[in-house]
Structure 1
Amino acid sequence: MCSACTRRGSSCSDSSPSDPRAGSPVEPRTDADGVAAEVNPSAGEVPRSDAPGDREPLAPELGAPEPGAPPSTPTHPGAPRASRSASLVSAGILLSRIAGLARERALGHYFGASVYADAWRAALRLPNVIQNLLGEGTLSASFIPVYARMIEEDRQEAARRFAGAVFGLLLVTAGALVLLGMALAPLLVGLLFPRFDADQHARTTALVRILFPMTGILVLSAWSLGILNTHRRFFLPYVAPVAWNAAILAALVGGGWYLGWEGDALLRLTAGGALLGGFLQFAIQLPGALRLVGGLRVTVLPWVANRIEGVREAVRAFLPVLAGRGVVNVGGLLDYALAGLLATGALAVLGYAQVLYMLPISLFGMAVAASELPELARSQVAARRKEAEEVAEKEAGKEAGKLAGKQAGKQAGQGTPGDLDLAPARVDGRAADLSPAAQAALAGSVRQGMLRVAYFLVPSVAVYLFLGDVVVAALYQTGAFGPLEVRLTWAILAAYALGMGASATSRLLSSAFYALGNTATPARVAVLRVTLALAVGAALMFPLDRFEVGGGLRYGAVGLALGSALGAWVELGLLRRRLARDIGPHGSGVGPLLRLVTGAGAAVAVGWGLRLALAGVVPGLHPIPVAAVTLGAAGAAYLGVTSLLGVRSPLLEALGRRGGSA
């Protein structure tokens, strides 16, 4: 099936190198011209996903505070642990993302930017709403803080009952939504994608009915992830999605390469692989979570669960986040609905670009945020406990003084010293203001986390902007995914990259709000972000859709990505301003960021130079070796230049600590 026919959904009789049956996408080869022949974003969502100085202000290393800034993480006992936890999360996510990239390469190989790829993206997005609403992001704000506090207070039985009640509520809620979604699938597809013809509508509806049960299972998998994270078991829950990706990849390669299937038959098999992968992902995590909980007693009746300690508190925290994530998910659906109004292939290419856009955010922003949230929750418990002990000591001292005064009064014939208010101060970190020490500790953690995120996100943005076509071609250019698809995907990716750093940092700041018990602020800000992103994206997409890439592909989806980038920066600004009111200054300052930008500029220059040299010496070289040489050299240049500027690499520090502990 040729590339043009693939986009139309028809077929041709030639046996071109692009024939999906000609070879596996896992083993690419090049044709005579050197072109590879064989072988989830804009509404602010973050996979579900999602951390944690030196006192010398002149120290140029990463993490050194600016002049006047409070000392950073040396005074924060959870920082080394959070750093190690972030490394484990990153390692797990890296393996999962590698499997995900292999999955996307296979999807691109067999479906390209065709009507089949559009149907897959639309069908996956619809049921994914359940996972986003009830999954990791929402549980991080409601379930993990309460469960972590019970564990920290050594109340194992209360934690076990609470975990069972939450599991039961998720089971009932997700199950009901799955059944409702399967029943209403034809109506939902028709409402969201009105431009789909009858065949495309039927194709998408069939996929939705297969994928809805998958997302219900993944909601329960997110419960297991929350349990494992709270007990500092970070690697397993973030590597578990490898099973989901592997099942889809096996369906694609087995059906497309071994069986020679294509079109609707291969598409349905791929959806079946996704359903099986959801079961596998949950099954990998569940045994470990059950062992840590100490036996699960599931409570499925809401009125019974509501009487269990912690449930009402979790529900109160859950509802604002649900509202905020609901807006985000509606925004994500509307993003895809808008893309469905554009030329064929817009949905597919938007999805391909989002996978690469989310890669650095997931690896670094989400890893830092996910590993820091339990530590922040524990630090608040420790701070409250310490303040309570100090209050008790003061009260005991005053009581002793009062008794001594009474004794002295009796001896001197005088009354007792009066009107001393000895009532202990209320110590409740969720209701009272944090102490200055607790504010400084939290601000130090946020500052250090922001710098770690920036260390990885700054060069990622630079590479996507200036070398993004190298990345896209190396990953996707095979089979039905040709140079035109590469060009459009790069344009969308570059637009997304403009807001990538803001999105990753906002994830970390949201975790800080969650640890403070404030779930309403991130939710309200999310509403503003989504509204702005949709308005700007809708205004830009139709004018840009007038410009054609070639082969029927157009630039309209770039407008949606630009709207997302603008919304991300507005969200970051609002979150930072509110967090500064709660915990004080927490920014990293200009100096460290300038050093990172300098390193990223050097990396891009080296990458471009090598790219031009390779084009002159070895014309038509396959995209994978081109990417390996140029991106590898760019990474080495970034590491070298930032090291010369005194920036300490979080990755090298983690490896050094691990080597030293061994």
Structure 2
Amino acid sequence: MSVDKKPSRSLARIAGIVAAATLISKVFGLFREQAIAAAFGVGPVIDAYAYAYVIPGFLLILLGGINGPFHSALVSVLAKRDKSEAAPLVETISTLVSFLLLGVTTVVIIFAGTFIDILAPGLETATRAIAIQQLQIMAPLAVLAGLIGIGFGTLNASDRYWLPSISPLFSSLATLVGLGALIFYLGDRVQAPQYLKLGGMVLAGTTLVGGIFQWLAQVIAQWQSGMGTLRLRFDWRIPGVADVMKVMAPATLSSGMLHINVYTDLYFASAIQGAAAAMRYANFIVLTPLGIISNMLLVPLLPVFSRLAAPENWSDLKIRIRQGLFLSALSMLPLTALFMAAAVPIVRIVYQRYAFDAEASAVVAPVLMAYGFGMFFYLGRDVLVRVFYALGDGETPFRISIVNIFVNGILDYFLIKAFATPGLVMATVGVNFISMMVLLWILHRRLNGLPLLEWGLSLLALIVGTVVAGFASWGACWGWERFIGTGNLILQLLQLGLAFFIALGIFILFAIQLKLPEVNILTSRIRQKFARR
């Protein structure tokens, strides 16, 4: 039996809940970044914070993120167990993780100066002092990251999706309130040298407070669901603890390997002026829809994968794997067509103002095209990794991630010579594509055969539709710019809107002709919603 508290919602409804909550969280995250920029600009406080947040931010993404290893491990195990077993298991895992991460926190606090010097050896003395203090303040986020990740998994396993998806909002609100109080107290003096240290403390402190609020909100919800309290448990022999750790440990290492690939890309990017900035700007644009859609797909699918992990359910599991891959394709490939066809208008609308001029847009646009090309492979690989987690196998994705570090480095070395900055992104796309193919082949052998040829032909047809949609969208952008122009923001938005609807319309026509079950399900649900309204 699973830990479901109530009848399981449909995947479509879960996806809608997750999408709405994630979108709200991202909107408040945008407000948070705008407030930080308004308060501190690009001065020493933000320089220091950028380096001080590297370690806490890495841990929050790695351990505390939705679809992270802690979340995935808890869901994959709890979904297979009776609810009566959940609370002791969650409390035991929380105790173990807390003590391990308390050690990490202690090390970060004691050696904060060393970590800052390693990350940023060229910082000025005053900025370095602010960064060290900020890192020490934010060090407890290491513990909170693990507990937040556990909370995500526990609540999703109990069929609660709204709070985990919207909980990052609490962090943004804490920062907004803290910065508002600081500006109210100091006014225009917030940038005065004697107050920079105070500003740095407030920024780091509100980041920590936000993490605390996010965790507390989850603890209360866990308590109400009967999924564990703050009780310390040290009985490692509780059934399920070993199963969780079996998935959690290699999954954490596997996810960590992905960040090593990011650092590898940045190492090569340092040889090209502006490359790291271009990758950052383009990556932000891609991650906005990718983050929302990936949460919509992966959050509801992971418990389903876990419930179908037994051999007698493999026929249904294969159907769900197909559904995950094709929903990834149907959601990502239209965006691929748009990003590759309209990269320049997108970058122009999002960034081109003040110091970010037309020349900067020309640098970032090709990088955005490369990121857009790889969106489906990124999400498809993530779907397949979650299948392995559901099967209780975190070791296989970890081994593949280890190999990927070397493959990524080799591809970086050759592709940067051929394509400069976009080549670094293409290397990452290549790694994701190879990983996806390898994971599919292993699942094909482990699950006694997958209809790979049938899936491959259908996906190839969707890719052909993407190419046609992309060329038509590009033609629309070119024609608009030649005959109408893009002299103001309204014209630019109309140009992008035309490109979007052409790309989406042509892709939908291709998808409908293929008579894919996923398309039929999606269109029927849309019709039902409009009929009810």
Is this contact kept in 2: 1:357–1:496, CA < 8 A? yes
Is residue 2:497 matched to residue 1:629? no
For residues 111 and 563 of structure 1, the distance between their equivalents in structure 2, rounded to whole angstroms, comes to 35
Determine the structure 1 residue equivalent to 2:315: 440
- Larger CA deviation: 167-176 vs 643-652: 643-652
User: Between Structure 1 and Structure 2, which shows a larger proportion of helix residues?
Assistant: 2
Determine the structure 1 residue equivalent to 2:440: 576
Is this contact kept in 1: 2:71–2:151, CA < 8 A? no
**Equivalent residue pairs, number:** 510
Determine the structure 1 residue equivalent to 2:399: 524
Is residue 2:154 matched to residue 1:227? yes
- Larger CA deviation: 516-525 vs 243-252: 243-252
Is this contact kept in 2: 1:111–1:480, CA < 8 A? no
Is this contact kept in 2: 1:163–1:293, CA < 8 A? no
Judged with a 3 Å threshold, the aligned counterparts in structure 2 of structure 1 residues 114 and 176 are, in CA distance, closer, same or farther, namely: same
Is residue 2:103 matched to residue 1:166? no
Determine the structure 2 residue equivalent to 1:143: 74
Is residue 2:520 matched to residue 1:589? no
**Aligned-pair CA distance for 1:131:** 2.8
For residues 270 and 651 of structure 1, the distance between their equivalents in structure 2, rounded to whole angstroms, comes to 43
- Larger CA deviation: 470-479 vs 309-318: 470-479
For residues 562 and 230 of structure 1, the distance between their equivalents in structure 2, rounded to whole angstroms, comes to 36
Choose between structure 1 and 2 for higher RCO, CA contacts under 8 A separated by at least 6 residues: 1
**What SS is found at the alignment partner of 1:307?**
coil
State which of 233, 239, 242 in structure 2 corresponds to 1:309: 239
Once the two structures are superposed, the pairs formed by residues 550-561 of structure 1 within 5 Å of their partners are 558-561=422-425
Is residue 2:15 matched to residue 1:86? yes
For residues 236 and 167 of structure 1, the distance between their equivalents in structure 2, rounded to whole angstroms, comes to 19
Determine the structure 1 residue equivalent to 2:427: 563
**Aligned-pair CA distance for 1:482:** 4.4
> How high is the sequence identity, in percent, across the aligned residues?
22
- Larger CA deviation: 88-97 vs 480-489: 480-489
Is this contact kept in 1: 2:408–2:431, CA < 8 A? yes
Unaligned runs of 5+ in 1: 1-77, 381-428, 545-554
Determine the structure 2 residue equivalent to 1:640: 505
**Aligned-pair CA distance for 1:455:** 1.0
For residues 89 and 346 of structure 1, the distance between their equivalents in structure 2, rounded to whole angstroms, comes to 34
**Aligned-pair CA distance for 1:111:** 7.9
For residues 124 and 272 of structure 2, the distance between their equivalents in structure 1, rounded to whole angstroms, comes to 13
State which of 109, 123, 126 in structure 2 corresponds to 1:182: 109
Is this contact kept in 2: 1:643–1:649, CA < 8 A? no
For residues 308 and 60 of structure 2, the distance between their equivalents in structure 1, rounded to whole angstroms, comes to 29
Determine the structure 2 residue equivalent to 1:609: 476
Give RMSD over aligned pairs.
3.7
Determine the structure 1 residue equivalent to 2:4: none
For residues 370 and 206 of structure 1, the distance between their equivalents in structure 2, rounded to whole angstroms, comes to 36
Is residue 2:343 matched to residue 1:459? no
Judged with a 3 Å threshold, the aligned counterparts in structure 2 of structure 1 residues 640 and 112 are, in CA distance, closer, same or farther, namely: farther
For residues 277 and 557 of structure 1, the distance between their equivalents in structure 2, rounded to whole angstroms, comes to 35
Judged with a 3 Å threshold, the aligned counterparts in structure 2 of structure 1 residues 626 and 193 are, in CA distance, closer, same or farther, namely: farther
For residues 299 and 127 of structure 2, the distance between their equivalents in structure 1, rounded to whole angstroms, comes to 38
**Aligned-pair CA distance for 1:370:** 1.9
Alignment-mate amino acid for residue 158 of structure 1: E
Once the two structures are superposed, the pairs formed by residues 66-145 of structure 1 within 5 Å of their partners are 81-103=10-32, 120-136=49-65, 137-145=68-76
Q: Deviations over 1:269-290 (max 9, x none)?
A: 5444433332332233332222
Is this contact kept in 1: 2:408–2:428, CA < 8 A? yes
Is this contact kept in 2: 1:357–1:497, CA < 8 A? yes
- Larger CA deviation: 341-350 vs 462-471: 341-350
Compare CA radii of gyration and give the structure with the larger one.
1
**Aligned-pair CA distance for 1:292:** 1.0
State which of 293, 302, 306 in structure 1 corresponds to 2:226: 293
Is this contact kept in 1: 2:340–2:470, CA < 8 A? no
Is this contact kept in 2: 1:444–1:586, CA < 8 A? no
Is this contact kept in 2: 1:165–1:311, CA < 8 A? yes
Alignment-mate amino acid for residue 280 of structure 1: F
Determine the structure 1 residue equivalent to 2:216: 283
Unaligned runs of 5+ in 2: 1-6, 513-518
**Aligned-pair CA distance for 1:597:** 4.3
Alignment-mate amino acid for residue 506 of structure 2: V
Alignment-mate amino acid for residue 297 of structure 2: V
- Larger CA deviation: 345-354 vs 275-284: 345-354
For residues 478 and 327 of structure 2, the distance between their equivalents in structure 1, rounded to whole angstroms, comes to 29
Is this contact kept in 1: 2:71–2:154, CA < 8 A? no
State which of 291, 297, 305 in structure 2 corresponds to 1:362: 291
- Larger CA deviation: 278-287 vs 118-127: 118-127
- Larger CA deviation: 251-260 vs 191-200: 251-260
Once the two structures are superposed, the pairs formed by residues 192-341 of structure 1 within 5 Å of their partners are 192-194=119-121, 201-202=128-129, 204-248=131-175, 259-260=187-188, 261-262=190-191, 265=196, 269-293=202-226, 295-296=228-229, 298-299=231-232, 304-336=234-266, 341=270
For residues 78 and 363 of structure 2, the distance between their equivalents in structure 1, rounded to whole angstroms, comes to 45
**Aligned-pair CA distance for 1:222:** 1.9
For residues 348 and 120 of structure 1, the distance between their equivalents in structure 2, rounded to whole angstroms, comes to 17
**Aligned-pair CA distance for 1:200:** 5.7
Is this contact kept in 1: 2:341–2:473, CA < 8 A? no
**Aligned-pair CA distance for 1:519:** 1.3
- Larger CA deviation: 322-331 vs 138-147: 322-331
**Aligned-pair CA distance for 1:621:** 0.6
Judged with a 3 Å threshold, the aligned counterparts in structure 2 of structure 1 residues 207 and 474 are, in CA distance, closer, same or farther, namely: farther
Is this contact kept in 1: 2:336–2:466, CA < 8 A? no
Is this contact kept in 1: 2:18–2:161, CA < 8 A? yes
**What SS is found at the alignment partner of 2:81?**
helix
Determine the structure 2 residue equivalent to 1:598: 465
**Aligned-pair CA distance for 1:198:** 5.1
**Aligned-pair CA distance for 1:223:** 1.8
